[in-house]
Amino acid sequence: MKESISNANFPRDAEDRVYHISVKTGDVANRVLTVGDHVRGRRIAKLLDTEEETGHPIFEKQSQRGFLTITGRYKGVPVSIMAIGMGNCMMDFFVRETRASVDGTLAIIRFGSCGSLTTSAPAGSVVVPRGGYCIRRNLDHFAEEPIYPQLKDIPYFFSGSFKADDGMTQILAQTVENALAPAIEQGKPVGPVLTGGLNADGCSFYSSQGRQDPVFWDDNEELVEEINTKFPDTHSIEMETSMLFHLAQCARDSTKPIKAAGCMQVFADRVGNSFIRPEQVDILEPLVGKACLDALIKVNIENEMDVAGTVWE
C-alpha cells in the first residue's frame, strides 16, 4: 500500500478515497449500474457518450481490491458503471463506500446473472424481482461445540424479504421488456422477462444455493425444497441482489436515500439443469445492459451531482 490511511472505522487514503473501491466524491455519479463481471461492465461502458460528444473524459478507476468504476454520461446524464466481483460481502463494500462518495440520492440498478428456480424462466430469460431474501450457511450446525446449540439442527438460515424500490423496478421491467420484445418476436433464444417474484441470495455459490457437492459435508439436500416451501414465488437465486435491497433499506440519513432495483439474466436453469449458451449471452447482454442504462436515467433523483463534467486527476 503506497498511501497512508486514516480512520480505522471507515478507512480513506490521503486524498480522501474510500479504501477498497478507491474513489472520492466527484468520481461516482448518483446513478450507478452495478455488475459483478468486469468484462460485462466494460462492454456496457462502450454505450456511454464519448469524450468527443461531451467534451469531458470518461473516468475509469480499477482499485487494488478488484472494484472497477467507470463514470461518464449516457444520453447526457451522469452515470457510473461499477463492477464489484461476487457475493454479499462485495455488495456491502460497494454500497457503503459508494454512498460515502456521493451526495444526494443514490439510485442503483444491479445487472447480474442468476440461477432460475422456476420452469417459467429458462436459460436466456431475464428476472426483475420485486424483492429478495438471503440464505446463510449456519456454521454452528457444523461445529463440534456450537455457540447456539438450540440452532444446531438448522443447516441454513433464511432471512425475511427486502423490497426493491417499486418505481425503479417498474421502470426497469418496462425498459427490459421493450428491449427484448423485438428479439423475442424474431424467435431469438432469449426471454421471457419475469417480474413480480423474489430473488434469493446465497452466501455461497455452492452449498447455500443447494448445489450438491459430494466431496463436502453440506446437509443441503432439502434446501431447494425448503426455498419452494418458504418462498414459493422465488424466481432467481444468486449472490448480491437481495443484499443490495437489504442495505438500501438500512441506509440512514434522509438526505442520502438509496433506491435500488435489479435484473438478472438467467445463466443456470436449476430446474432443468442446463446452462446458457455463449451465443445467447451475446444477444441478451447488450440488450439488457442498454435497457438498464435507459432505466437508470429515467429515475427521479433529488440533489443530483454533475460529476461527469469534473476534470479528473
Q: Where are the alpha helices (DSSP H) in 133-253?
A: 139-142, 166-185, 223-230, 241-250
- Asked whether position 131 contacts ligand R1P by CB under 6 A, the answer is no
Interatomic CA distance for residues 109 and 172, integer angstroms: 8
Q: Is the CB of residue 276 less than 8 Å from the CB of residue 123?
A: yes
Given the C-alpha cell 435489479, which residue does it identify? 262
With CB under 6 A as the contact rule, which of the stretches 29-37, 64-72, 208-216, 276-284 interacts with ligand R1P?
29-37
How many residues touch ligand R1P (CB under 6 A)? 10
* Grid coordinates given for 181: 420484445
- Asked whether position 190 contacts ligand R1P by CB under 6 A, the answer is no
Task: Tell which positions 217-246 bind ligand R1P, by CB under 6 A.
Answer: 238-240
Number of residues written out for the chain: 313
Residue placing its CB nearer to ligand R1P in the complex, 38 or 96:
38
Among residues 136, 129, 156, 165, the alpha carbon closest in space to that of 241 is found at 129
- Asked whether position 112 contacts ligand R1P by CB under 6 A, the answer is yes
Interatomic CA distance for residues 235 and 188, integer angstroms: 22
- Asked whether position 132 contacts ligand R1P by CB under 6 A, the answer is no
- Asked whether position 37 contacts ligand R1P by CB under 6 A, the answer is yes
Residue placing its CB nearer to ligand R1P in the complex, 195 or 208:
208
- Asked whether position 205 contacts ligand R1P by CB under 6 A, the answer is yes
Burial class (CB in 10 A: 0-12, 13-18, 19+), 286: middle
Residue placing its CB nearer to ligand R1P in the complex, 26 or 289:
289
- Asked whether position 81 contacts ligand R1P by CB under 6 A, the answer is no
Residue placing its CB nearer to ligand R1P in the complex, 37 or 304:
37
- Asked whether position 92 contacts ligand R1P by CB under 6 A, the answer is no
DSSP for 88-102 reads HHHHHHHHHHHHTT-
Residues interacting with ligand R1P, by CB under 6 A?
35-37, 86, 112-113, 205, 238-240
